Structure 1
């Protein structure tokens, strides 16, 4: 490829690409391929030639060869929300897709991403530390493929804005210059005519999107004392759109108005831009009366209000009752944490639509329903205009393509006529996905849409991990449902013994839980396929298409595995879905999943005699212990989740009550305090009905919910009465007693019935 005149060396190239980046307000990528020593020396030289200060540079890699901030690739997420002039990503020891996404996103307009790689022709065949994480037992690193890196190499060589240098020889393969036509930069946006925040807040905005976002924060100027006044704001944007800056301008404006503004984020660095913009505005207004740290302020005082930072765990307690809470990079926080901020009268969530911070719709999938159901009036704002770099930046389009950050399902009209009888089943091999960009985009886009924590690493897992495979249903060639499967089990004797002693084994979640937590070393012998994720296009949901996909998968793999399994954050709807498809509950976690905020259920669908033995064994153990689990570690489990989990357990719990225990339960009509005298027989009676009812219509859903709360979870009578809105505690006790009497009449022997009738 011809090079631009004047570029005779790598240093010439570094100066040229940096000059073009600054002139256009865009970013550029400089790929230095070769040996580790050569590429690292070239990076030092390139930064110097491009006049990038080391103080404005971050190094992501295992070797500290630059005198600047260094982050291990696994911690590259700390770049979120920050802007750097240059990021050097050293991919020699570990090339993590998440690290690439975070590194690209942190580079501002006029800046450089410098990517250090082995020689590109051989790079896809090499294996590194990230590949080792994909080589889950019984596979080893030699079983991992290099498809994802091959994709990156192809996009690097084909995409504008990316310069490529052979660091071993110093030769320039591609200069990456795009020679864009001169651009007229838009003028500053005008403030709203009737704005309530200071004009300076709007004067500091660089785009109309920022103006609209700052304006949306004005709704928090109310007192928030009544339910009608509770406000929630959701700001969604791609990376580099200036949402943190807008939040900072709004936070300062609210503090000027006398508000106490609490800001939180996964870490302070993520929110540093919020505080930087707040400091600038307060200083401009002559209103900054106190700042705790000049370089990294976390507490700003104004004459009447303040802006302060707390980490999420502390912030969820809403210390000192803030007037407004701003949650920056909300998609990076667990749902259970986000929910707790809904106790604030006014709360704003800023979140990234595409990118490393949850890679897309993570925030929407699990949390938006909870937000909608809250007492807050919800306002949505979308920011689309780039602010860290110019619109049309070629590096953004390259990163989106290479990492599939903008992957989306097929548009509705292409699939809306799909039905279980009209779809085709197919296995999506990595070769199929690599050969068909639209197929890959639709399949991965559906997974991004449906799952709350899909991220760039998952793309590499889909393309390279030896234990992962994909299946799909298509309609006229378009993906309408997709599932990711992970092969688990069939582990060697020595590894099973180590698991039994407590060693955690990657990529074998179900055998790991059944062996380490439930003390069943034999659980890792059968081989299974765990459904990692399953997603159906929103336009065709509730038509049985997801169930059709599971049926096809079972028919395909039944002869080669012992079980199908799934582990997921349990909700009533999801439990019923898996139950309807033949899966039975064998375990319920005793802690909430950090990402989903739910207790996790593990369910099995046996495919062989060995699988049936496993499912029967653990299903029985689950029924033996579940009453005790519900009364202690999961006594806050949603009653509807408990009802669904128990209904999907299978089996028939023993009702082997002694004659005395039958007299105890038969005595309930005479006084509900009998519950507290001996809870055990009541639990067995309730458990029997919820797992294997003699008459499924005998009790109403509310009656079953009350039994879960009082009998199985052991809540106080007053608490149960308040939750189910009884007029008094006494009425609650009488109602539950009547419910138990009905169960006794369903299951008791004649002698017990005589005693009950004599009352």
Structure 2
């Protein structure tokens, strides 16, 4: 069988079943690239509908670089060539594999498959974070990828040699033809408008599957509030089922009725399909008034407009309805903010590159059910681009673990600290046990709102990562992914100090470049990059137990046995989007605040907290100076870039600062104390000595000796530290009046005088009658 005949047979079979077929061409780069073009031509696939994802530029059709492969999300092509010679990017595979239409070819180019895992490329270089080099990176991901290619149906494998262009040479050897002899595809059922449809019939006739039409019908709920409150529609689907298209059709229909539809997604490109289908409906109906990348206006006065997630959660300009696309790729804390607004649709991918629907399902569903909304569930199962059971899709799920999930609830529901074992999940062990790998990675997916295929390769190959877990009867119930940081050379530290970024060293980078600590990258630390506990046993202390076991392991023998380079480990650290609950969790496990970022994360809208738990004297010294510096800069940043942050985040971040960051005694003058005492008795003004109140507020919020209640602490944060106006403080804290808020402020000052005041200050209280 020749390459040409094989490509033609693969195309014929794919068209008959409305499926895709994959073709792997291994060998020298130039030869496999030429062979890919020949195969596409032999399969009679139109060049205009083909795209190469390649670092090479000599292609007779469209090509993009591996890092621009995101441009193919939402698009449909007849053939896609992924060139793995210069850079084998798991993300590029995840982004592109769903973009091939039924009857098309997915072509993967690779070096010799037997030795591919031993080669190093541009993606490997991205895993070689200092102080590791590219030679420290392993090839486990590619070895596993090759194994899935060789054992999965629907994947043809050919070896191409340097003599490919020789017309008399036999330069292609077919190792596996990938043919499955499938049944012909069944005709699709034509969607019809429902009898009780409120949207116009042409909206339903634009649907490609019955599933999609049913989803659009349910999205009619966005037209109005119901007796049960504003509806919340949840549209779930695997990738390629048309959920974003359904949302776009509904958005266009709502705009035609004069409604204002706000659309958001993790990034603007993620909403392309929603906007494309909404614009299509308005254009076809000749009702499009104006259009731009971020806004479509209808003749009726309605519109479809885009806002980034943090801004959209504030519901700018009071929209009539909201569409949140790829909701699983946004943090739960942000999604919950949409529950206080108008009718909203949450569209989420169950298994796919964009995010993990399981995390959305487990963590956000509770909030949605508890909200005063009618919850409407929609699921799309029928693929739009190809038939159900497509072998290329099932291969991608397995190869990239897109459908990885934790053990089912019943298997771990009885797990308690006494029944679990602490274990090190080495790469070798994960590779040898597919179930263990799927369970561990499935839990890690839940730990973060946006996990990508690249993360699987990092887990299996990155030299700076190591994994620990708690197992209950052999099942993973809690898992932590640890990233080694620091221990940087003097030369590297100096480059970072001068502004150069250092990959994979988040805490040392911030310490050195942002906080101007020349020695911030010298101690060796381990950052808890991800930690997750199975949702069935999340409140049973297993996450804290795992952190405790990790610390015990790394403390023993100075941590040298546990460290990836056999060095002493000086501290543990963590960085995350700060919420009151997470701050309490990490503080409860002995971690102390050393930094709160002054800018928000683009996707989550949260400020990042950095916390440290020292293990050695060097780690303690690092933590102590950064805790002190954090306390010293707090007045400036809290009254400036952090002035709008939730006061509960601020007070809990400060409570997690090490007490040693506070001077032994307040530095207030005699006059300062008189002002504080007078304020406590309803006289004088905070503005008469703001620095004095700031020092006392910081002391109390860090140390807590005066025992203020949460309401009083929030009052100190908003008025003293964030310097908000009295009227704004009264409104935010739901006080009866500004006058009552000022009186409450005086009441909060009394215990500060009692606990921290000098004898003269306490004596001055006698001036005021009870």
Q: TM-score range by the shorter chain?
A: over 0.9
Equivalent in the alignment of 2:182: 180
Deviation, structure 1 residue 29: 0.9
| Secondary structure at 2:213 match in 1 | helix
Q: Within 2, Cα distance between the matches of 1:336 and 1:444?
A: 23
Question: Aligned pair 1:612/2:620, yes or no?
Answer: yes
Structure 1 residues 55 and 183, CA gap change in structure 2 (3 angstroms): closer
Deviation, structure 1 residue 234: 2.9
Structure 1 residues 209 and 676, CA gap change in structure 2 (3 angstroms): farther
Question: Aligned pair 1:85/2:78, yes or no?
Answer: yes
Structure 1 residues 427 and 624, CA gap change in structure 2 (3 angstroms): same
Deviation, structure 1 residue 187: 2.7
Question: Aligned pair 1:674/2:689, yes or no?
Answer: no
1:329 to 305, 326, 330: 326
Deviation, structure 1 residue 516: 1.2
Instruction: Out of 328-337 and 565-574, give the one that drifted further.
Output: 328-337
| Secondary structure at 2:416 match in 1 | coil
Question: Aligned pair 1:392/2:389, yes or no?
Answer: yes
Question: Aligned pair 1:69/2:62, yes or no?
Answer: yes
8 A Cα contact 1:415 1:540, kept in partner: yes
Q: Within 1, Cα distance between the matches of 2:519 and 2:222?
A: 58
Deviation, structure 1 residue 205: 3.3
| Secondary structure at 1:568 match in 2 | strand
Q: Within 1, Cα distance between the matches of 2:279 and 2:645?
A: 44
Equivalent in the alignment of 1:454: 451
Deviation, structure 1 residue 242: 1.0
Q: Within 2, Cα distance between the matches of 1:291 and 1:32?
A: 49
Deviation, structure 1 residue 378: 4.6
| Secondary structure at 1:524 match in 2 | coil
Deviation, structure 1 residue 117: 1.0
Deviation, structure 1 residue 319: 7.2
Question: Aligned pair 1:594/2:602, yes or no?
Answer: yes
| Secondary structure at 1:600 match in 2 | strand
Q: Deviations over 1:612-649 (max 9, x none)?
A: 11112222222222233222121122222222211111
8 A Cα contact 1:18 1:28, kept in partner: yes
Equivalent in the alignment of 1:692: 703
| Secondary structure at 1:421 match in 2 | helix
Equivalent in the alignment of 2:731: 722
Q: Within 1, Cα distance between the matches of 2:453 and 2:683?
A: 56
Structure 1 residues 342 and 72, CA gap change in structure 2 (3 angstroms): farther
Deviation, structure 1 residue 272: 4.5
Question: Aligned pair 1:150/2:143, yes or no?
Answer: yes
Equivalent in the alignment of 1:4: none
Question: Aligned pair 1:105/2:98, yes or no?
Answer: yes
8 A Cα contact 1:312 1:337, kept in partner: no
Deviation, structure 1 residue 99: 0.7
Q: Within 1, Cα distance between the matches of 2:699 and 2:266?
A: 44
Instruction: Out of 65-74 and 602-611, give the one that drifted further.
Output: 65-74
2:521 to 519, 524, 536: 524
Q: Within 2, Cα distance between the matches of 1:533 and 1:27?
A: 35
Q: Within 2, Cα distance between the matches of 1:220 and 1:497?
A: 56
Deviation, structure 1 residue 100: 0.5
Instruction: Out of 397-406 and 340-349, give the one that drifted further.
Output: 340-349
8 A Cα contact 1:61 1:91, kept in partner: yes
Q: Deviations over 1:20-65 (max 9, x none)?
A: 1111111111111111101111111111111222221222121222
Equivalent in the alignment of 1:732: 741
Deviation, structure 1 residue 346: 3.6
Deviation, structure 1 residue 135: 0.3
Structure 1 residues 374 and 633, CA gap change in structure 2 (3 angstroms): farther
8 A Cα contact 1:335 1:595, kept in partner: no
Deviation, structure 1 residue 497: 1.1
Structure 1 residues 638 and 298, CA gap change in structure 2 (3 angstroms): closer
Q: Within 2, Cα distance between the matches of 1:364 and 1:641?
A: 26
Equivalent in the alignment of 2:300: 304
Deviation, structure 1 residue 721: 0.4
Equivalent in the alignment of 1:5: none
Q: Within 2, Cα distance between the matches of 1:339 and 1:575?
A: 18
Equivalent in the alignment of 2:765: 756
2:490 to 493, 512, 517: 493
Question: Aligned pair 1:664/2:661, yes or no?
Answer: no
Equivalent in the alignment of 1:563: 571
Q: Within 1, Cα distance between the matches of 2:280 and 2:590?
A: 60
Q: RMSD of aligned C-alpha atoms?
A: 2.7
| Secondary structure at 2:419 match in 1 | coil
Equivalent in the alignment of 2:509: 512
8 A Cα contact 2:18 2:185, kept in partner: no
Deviation, structure 1 residue 126: 0.6
8 A Cα contact 2:532 2:543, kept in partner: yes
Structure 1 residues 299 and 85, CA gap change in structure 2 (3 angstroms): farther
8 A Cα contact 1:40 1:65, kept in partner: no
Deviation, structure 1 residue 591: 1.2
Equivalent in the alignment of 2:286: 288
Q: Within 2, Cα distance between the matches of 1:65 and 1:360?
A: 39
Equivalent in the alignment of 1:209: 211
Q: Within 1, Cα distance between the matches of 2:132 and 2:240?
A: 40
Equivalent in the alignment of 1:743: 752
Q: Within 1, Cα distance between the matches of 2:370 and 2:126?
A: 39
Which residues in structure 2 correspond to 1:223-372 (within 5 Å)?
A: 230-265=230-265, 270-278=270-278, 281=281, 287-290=285-288, 303-310=299-306, 312=308, 316=312, 322-332=319-329, 345-361=342-358
Structure 1 residues 342 and 53, CA gap change in structure 2 (3 angstroms): farther
Deviation, structure 1 residue 340: 7.5
Question: Aligned pair 1:548/2:545, yes or no?
Answer: yes
Deviation, structure 1 residue 343: 7.7
Deviation, structure 1 residue 173: 1.1
8 A Cα contact 1:80 1:357, kept in partner: no
Q: Deviations over 1:126-166 (max 9, x none)?
A: 11111011000010000000000001100001100111111
Structure 1 residues 615 and 302, CA gap change in structure 2 (3 angstroms): closer
Q: TM-score, normalised by structure 1?
A: 0.92
8 A Cα contact 2:251 2:304, kept in partner: no
Q: Deviations over 1:387-420 (max 9, x none)?
A: 2211111111110100000000000111111111
Deviation, structure 1 residue 677: 2.4
Q: Within 2, Cα distance between the matches of 1:595 and 1:676?
A: 37
Q: Within 1, Cα distance between the matches of 2:760 and 2:332?
A: 51
| Secondary structure at 2:81 match in 1 | strand
Deviation, structure 1 residue 186: 5.1
Q: Within 2, Cα distance between the matches of 1:406 and 1:122?
A: 28
Q: TM-score, normalised by structure 2?
A: 0.91
Q: Within 1, Cα distance between the matches of 2:701 and 2:318?
A: 42
Q: Within 2, Cα distance between the matches of 1:572 and 1:149?
A: 41
Structure 1 residues 658 and 445, CA gap change in structure 2 (3 angstroms): same
Q: Within 1, Cα distance between the matches of 2:286 and 2:187?
A: 33
Which residues in structure 2 correspond to 1:17-96 (within 5 Å)?
A: 17-96=10-89
Instruction: Out of 346-355 and 451-460, give the one that drifted further.
Output: 346-355
Structure 1 residues 174 and 106, CA gap change in structure 2 (3 angstroms): same
| Secondary structure at 2:207 match in 1 | coil
Deviation, structure 1 residue 193: 3.2
8 A Cα contact 1:567 1:603, kept in partner: yes
2:481 to 484, 487, 492: 484
Deviation, structure 1 residue 490: 0.8
1:637 to 641, 645, 652: 645
Instruction: Out of 143-152 and 617-626, give the one that drifted further.
Output: 617-626
Q: Within 1, Cα distance between the matches of 2:370 and 2:659?
A: 36
Residue segments in structure 1 that go unaligned for 5+ positions in a row: 1-7
Q: Within 2, Cα distance between the matches of 1:639 and 1:677?
A: 23
Structure 1 residues 380 and 715, CA gap change in structure 2 (3 angstroms): farther
Q: Within 1, Cα distance between the matches of 2:73 and 2:143?
A: 26
Q: Deviations over 1:451-481 (max 9, x none)?
A: 1121111000000000100000101000000
Q: Deviations over 1:61-96 (max 9, x none)?
A: 212222433222112122222222221111111111
Equivalent in the alignment of 2:563: none
Q: Deviations over 1:191-247 (max 9, x none)?
A: 43322222343344344432331112111222x6x9976444332211011112212
| Secondary structure at 1:58 match in 2 | strand
Instruction: Out of 262-271 and 155-164, give the one that drifted further.
Output: 262-271
Q: Within 1, Cα distance between the matches of 2:333 and 2:589?
A: 28
Q: Within 2, Cα distance between the matches of 1:426 and 1:595?
A: 34
Deviation, structure 1 residue 262: 4.7
| Secondary structure at 2:519 match in 1 | helix
| Secondary structure at 1:737 match in 2 | helix
Deviation, structure 1 residue 301: 6.0
Q: Within 1, Cα distance between the matches of 2:149 and 2:310?
A: 43
| Secondary structure at 1:82 match in 2 | coil
